[in-house]
Amino acid sequence: MPSDSLPSLRNSLLAIVLGVLSIVAVTTSPRAAAEEPAGGPLSLLITYRTAPVDRPAFRTYLQKEGRAQLAKLQRDGAIKSYQILFNPFAHGGTWDAMTVVSFARYTDTQRWMTLEQTSPGGLTAAGTRLVQTIDTYSADLTWQGDAENASHADAIYYVIPYEFGSASEYEKFVDGYVLPQVKGWMQEGVLGSYRIFMNRYPVGRPWDALFIYEYRDLEAFGKRAETVTKVRRTLENDSVWKQLHAIKQTLRSETENTIAVSLAQP
């Protein structure tokens, strides 16, 4: 086959697959948000980088003073929920910690903007002295799911950022390719929950979609590769999934992954 015919063939295949998915997604998509989000985003994802020498102190700060401030905001109704994730490994290519904040209403972000005037990134003065950079992303929690007995104290979180070209095509890709695998991982007993965020303002940002997978514990996370292979074998007869698997590299690109733990009170 001439090389100049490959792009047109790939585009034709993509059009067929996405056409099928546009029908399937109407009845099978377990989305947490509407196709077109109404109003402003309800999630903030805030990442922090600190010097290696300050990592122990910053972790302690987040567990104590940082967590106490977020808990008070939740009690006061300023935020709906929060989670603090910490990277257990020092790695200059990604963040040291990330706070996921959700709001009941978009207008509640006004209180967060007021807080930012004195507490950048939700940190008090003690916390800001320990960080080098803070990055805040407004996002929509578009897909989420929990297995039975999903919450585990020893959970390991795997955070994966993706970039894509078309948001509408990517949403169909998640519905037809990603979610069937995720459900399989849950059935295998290794995955406790998943959250997939879509960046509301992706222009110039390092990710368009962010996946947060919660593995039950370190042992379950260690079985990730073999579980992925096992579940994919069960999907090989699904024509839509198989076609998307063949062209997935043309739909999105993956950047630096992060392993994390959820910080509780020490």
Reading the chain (266 residues) residue by residue, the pLDDT tens digits are 444 443 444 444 444 444 444 333 333 345 654 345 668 999 999 999 999 999 999 999 999 999 999 999 999 999 999 999 999 999 988 999 999 999 999 999 999 999 999 999 999 999 999 999 999 999 999 999 998 776 678 999 999 999 999 999 999 999 999 999 999 999 999 999 999 999 998 877 789 999 999 999 999 999 999 999 999 999 999 999 999 999 999 999 998 999 999 997 66
**Which residues have CB under 8 Å from 23's CB, separation 6+?**
none
Cα distance between residue 10 and residue 20, in whole Å: 16
Query: Could you tell me if 159 and 98 are in contact, meaning their C-beta atoms sit under 8 angstroms apart?
Result: yes
CATH number of 3-262: 3.30.70.100
pLDDT of residue 180: 97
- The rounded mean pLDDT for the chain is 87
pLDDT in tens, 97-107: 999 999 999 99
Tokens (6 digits) for 228: 């992925």
Query: Could you tell me if 152 and 217 are in contact, meaning their C-beta atoms sit under 8 angstroms apart?
Result: yes
pLDDT in tens, 217-227: 999 999 999 99
Q: Which of 174, 164, 112 is nearest to 143 (CA)?
A: 174
CA distances from 94 to 54, 180, 256, 257 (A): 16, 28, 7, 8
């222009």: which residue's tokens? 203
Supply the pTM of this predicted model.
0.85
Tokens (6 digits) for 160: 């994966």
